[in-house]
Amino acid sequence: MSDSKIRVRFAPSPTGGLHLGGVRTVLFNYLFARQHHGKFILRIEDTDQSRYVPGAEDYIWRCLQWCGLLPDEGPHVGGPFGPYRQSERKNIYQTYAHQLVEQGQAYYAFDTPEELEAKRREQPNFQYDVHSRWQMKNSLTLPAQQVKDLLQQGYPYVIRIRMPENTTLRMHDLIRGEVEFQTEQVDDKVLLKADGMPTYHLAVVVDDYLMQISHVFRGEEWLPSTPVHLLLWEYLFGKQHMPQWAHLPLILRPDGHGKLSKRDGDRLGFPVYAMDWTDPFTGETTRGFREMGFLPEAFVNMLALLGWNDGSGQEIFTLEELVERFSIERIHKAGARFDFEKAKWFNHEWIKRLPASHFAPEVKKIFAQHQIPIPQDNQFLQVLELVKERCNLLTDFVAQAGFFFQPPATYDRAAIEKKWNPQMKACFEAWMATLTDLVPWNATTLEQSLQEVATRHGLKKNDCLLPLRIMLVGGKFGPPVFQIAERLGKAETRQRIQRALQHF
RNA sequence: GCCGCGUUGGUCAAUCGGCUAAGACGCCUCUCUUUCACGGAGGAAUGACGGGUUCGACUCCCGUACGCGGUACCA
């Protein structure tokens, strides 16, 4: 592949949250473009005005930003092939649609939506195609003069592609190999809608040509409509300019059947969108991976491995490594089921690998949301570093690190009930006294001193560990208990023991 | 219904005719740690089915089954 002209695009329609499958499509486009030193373009496919959702386009942009997969050209950054919003290119498509009619490869159709609906009701399998178009109201069946009149009167019409008869269309897909279609089987798709806007089919082909797209990575759900695109390329621009196709396997839901959807996430308790999305009409917010506590590095890494692997068994990759190793040949053909447990594992791995400073700002935000006081940076970082191996999600830091900055609100009494007794209480009281003079204050000296006091009281040090933990953190979690005490400092440690002793 | 695409453990998956079928997640056992993790050692668990082709098929071909996608003036 010659690198110089590699141009790929992600072309979402701004109708809501950005689905994880969408992000994976972005990722594969991005990796391919970077690897070949080409361009990655963002194009907004907003040709359906009835589905326009305010804020969705901006949201998509922010998702790409969070993932670190920003395009080289697009509505927010501009570029030499703009505008990058299809609604702003309306008249371009009209010209091509009419050209097709003139060439006899498309035709005007005057059937109203109601008429079509009625037709489908009486004939459940109705398809507007090679066979049925002769019974419909269009420029193929109506007398030329009537067509002219209708057009002149401004009677609403659409332009439909005229699928040829008895033709086999062949296409080479980079992932699936040779794919064949019989033109008879595909319908006369609408190219230009009554409102003058193109449908996806016309718009992709026109824009992919005008924007000089060299490779199309898109979801497998588009495979059945490629014959229309193939024909359009042939009719309008010549197949020699056609991009190469790569239809990506779908991301399936973890249980039952079907494509993963937002509703599955709600139902099963995991995110499907990259970031929180609030529907501007209903005000309903759908949780995103970011807000659920995912690191973009992990999110992207996890997505890359859903349908692709480099064959070496390596699973943790940086974006740079992915750019280097990515290859179309190693994309799987079959759909992949999304597994939230594995997604969390990726996140855990990335939390362990990255220095705390990398995600501290995000954790601070989470702490603020939970009203947990945030100390000075170096102290904060040290604590995060100490507990990060216990956190799968960034939100886990609340439970794993929050107690360092805030005394426990409750005590897990049940955990120590069996071991707690008056001697032990006496032991802790005695220890409190010795603690005043403990120098230096660290995990080792703390342990030694408890050892001594415990022995003196006829107790085993180890039996005191869990009670001490409950006093300091409130529950059975956190790093080794003497490290916690060291970190907490003398005053705070004594205070917490003191307070707990009153409760026990 | 029709068309297209797919099918290796529960999940992600390696294998491009030689397999006693990798690895990872999850699960279980042990170990470390008297918390929870991390780390370490083990374990259970897989080629949809039927025909070919071949000395030899998980790998190639054909059927069947099953799954998914599409079948809108949505993308």
Q: How many domains does chain A have?
A: 4
Nucleotide closest to residue A51 (CA–C1'): B74
pLDDT digits (tens, 9 = 90+) for A37-77: 999 999 999 999 999 999 999 999 999 999 999 999 999 99
pLDDT at position A34 over 60: yes
Does residue A133 share a domain with residue A73? no
Phi first, then psi, for residue A83 (nearest 5°) are -70, 155
Does residue A421 share a domain with residue A398? no
Examine residue A131 and state whether it is found in any structural domain, yes or no. yes
Does residue A132 share a domain with residue A16? no
Among A62, A54, A27, A57, residue whose Cα is nearest residue A43: A57
Through-space separation of residue A254 CA and nucleotide B49 C1' in angstroms = 25
**Amino acid symbol at A112:** T
Examine residue A227 and state whether it is found in any structural domain, yes or no. no
Position A450 scores a pLDDT of 95
Phi first, then psi, for residue A215 (nearest 5°) are -140, 135
Examine residue A178 and state whether it is found in any structural domain, yes or no. yes
pLDDT digits (tens, 9 = 90+) for A236-285: 999 999 999 999 999 998 876 688 888 888 888 899 999 999 999 999 99
A335 contact to strand B (CB, 7 A limit): yes
Through-space separation of residue A38 CA and nucleotide B51 C1' in angstroms = 48
Domain that holds residue A44: 3-84+250-337
A460 contact to strand B (CB, 7 A limit): yes
A467 contact to strand B (CB, 7 A limit): no
Examine residue A206 and state whether it is found in any structural domain, yes or no. yes
Does residue A291 share a domain with residue A376? no
Examine residue A349 and state whether it is found in any structural domain, yes or no. no
Does residue A92 share a domain with residue A76? no
Does residue A257 share a domain with residue A165? no
| Integer Cα distance of A445 and A355 in angstroms | 28
Among A254, A256, A257, residue whose Cα is nearest residue A265: A254
Q: What sign for the dihedral angle of Cα A420, A424, A426, A429?
A: negative
pLDDT digits (tens, 9 = 90+) for A412-422: 988 888 788 88
Does residue A377 share a domain with residue A279? no
Q: What sign for the dihedral angle of Cα A72, A74, A77, A82?
A: positive
A49 contact to strand B (CB, 7 A limit): no
Phi first, then psi, for residue A92 (nearest 5°) are -60, -45
Examine residue A344 and state whether it is found in any structural domain, yes or no. no
Mean pLDDT of A349-358: 97
Closest residue (Cα, C1') to B3: A185
Does residue A156 share a domain with residue A43? no
Through-space separation of residue A333 CA and nucleotide B18 C1' in angstroms = 26
A159 contact to strand B (CB, 7 A limit): no
| Three-state secondary structure string covering A132-148 | HHHHCCECCCCCHHHHH
Alpha helices, DSSP H, located in A68-213: 90-102, 113-122, 144-153, 200-210
Examine residue A436 and state whether it is found in any structural domain, yes or no. yes
Q: What are the residue numbers of the active site of A?
A: 262
Examine residue A139 and state whether it is found in any structural domain, yes or no. yes
How does the average pLDDT of chain A come out, rounded? 95
Position A264 scores a pLDDT of 82
